[in-house]
Amino acid sequence: MLQLGPHPELAHSVRGTVRRGNATALVSGDVDEGDLTLEESLNGTNISATWTGRVVDGSCGKEIRGTWNNAHPTPTAPSAPFVLRKQPGWQ
């Protein structure tokens, strides 16, 4: 599960967490002219993955599609497509 909110220190940026099973990683990044870029870190220091995507035309900014890229790809953790959908309650 990915949870994002406004970044407390950087205007127009987001920060949050992504949970997979028992592991939680930090994420931060921004959306600029419809392009999403997030950096993911398992240890809070090094980038473990990146998310790059684009806001879907006609979605009113409520859906982003792109690719998650593992910084150290393995056969069990390669790059993977993703779809993010805005949940009710977040502006």
Tell me the average pLDDT across 35-58.
Answer: 95
Contact 81, 67 (CB under 8 A): yes
Beta strands per DSSP E along 7-79: 13-20, 23-32, 35-41, 49-55, 63-70
Whole-structure pTM value: 0.84
75 Cβ neighbours under 8 A, 6+ residues apart: none
CA 87 to chain centre: 14
In this structure, are residues 30 and 39 in contact, taking their beta carbons and an 8 Å threshold? no
- Region 38-47: mean pLDDT is 95
pLDDT score at 61: 84
- Residue 26 sits at φ, ψ, to 5 deg, of -85, 145
